[in-house]
Structure 1
Amino acid sequence: MRRKLLGVSQEQLADSLGLTFQQVQKYERGANRVSASKLYEIARTLQVPVSFFFDGLADPMDGSENDEVGQHAERVVQEFLTTPEGLELAEVFPKIGRGRVRRQVLDLVRAMAEEATRNETAA
Structure 2
Amino acid sequence: MDDVLTGSDSVAEASTMRYQLDKMMSAGGFQLRKWASNCLEVLQGIPAANLAIRDIDIELEQDPSIKTLGLVWWPKTDVFKFQFVIPPIDDRWSISRRQLLSIIATLIDPLGLVGATITIAK
TM-score by length of 1: 0.27
TM-score by length of 2: 0.27
Name the structure, 1 or 2, with higher relative contact order (CA <8 Å, separation 6+).
2
| Structure (1 or 2) with the greater strand fraction | 2
